[in-house]
Amino acid sequence: MSRNLLIVLLSIVIPTTGTLAVQSKWQKFKGAYFEIQYPQGFKPRNSLKSNTFDGQYDSAFFTSADGSVEFYIFSPLWNGKPDDIEANVGTEEIVSEAHEKNGPVNTRRVTLKAKDGSYLRSFEDTENTETNTRKVFGIKFRDRTAYEKYRQHYLTFKKSLRQFSD
């Protein structure tokens, strides 16, 4: 994999500075203990059920209307296992994986590639062992064109997360 593509993939999960106002045409999604904004035209799909809030969800996927990109959020009340975003060894291979520890905060950044070459995806898993909390953001995209088209949307999506407690 080229060095430039790897830098692009790693920049997906590293937040940028500055503020990105959530656009007025964005929709609001409510999970069990979080709220997040997603672009109009994207289709949300609930994923992992909440262990603490019956009938609600701790994670969701958001697919663009053209199907070329998908955003992901996992934000439970307390820690949990984001099994729905982990690598599928049958269909994916790991391109890169990095771990970082900063006090009680452990961050894992993973980039995966479909074995058939149909997509790339990256996610950033942040776990705080002191507060027993966790959040995961992810993006899946068909090609570099799709990534470039939706990159700012993804950064805005990440910044719009609001977490709640009981």
Q: What is the DSSP letter of 22?
A: P
Q: 10 Å Cβ neighbour count for 117? A: 8
User: Residue 52: what pLDDT?
Assistant: 85
Cα separation, 121 vs 28, in Å, equals: 23
Architecture of domain 3-12+47-163: 3-Layer(aba) Sandwich (3.40)
Name the residue with tokens 């994670």.
59
* Main-chain dihedrals φ then ψ at residue 151, nearest 5 degrees: -55, -50
Indicate the DSSP class of residue 20.
-
Low-confidence ranges of the chain (pLDDT < 70): 1-24, 166
pTM of structure: 0.85
Beta carbons within 8 Å of 109's beta carbon, 6+ residues apart: 10, 13, 14, 96, 97, 98, 100, 122, 123, 124, 125
- Provide the residue ranges of all domains of the chain, joining segments of one domain with +: 3-12+47-163
pLDDT at res. 166 = 60
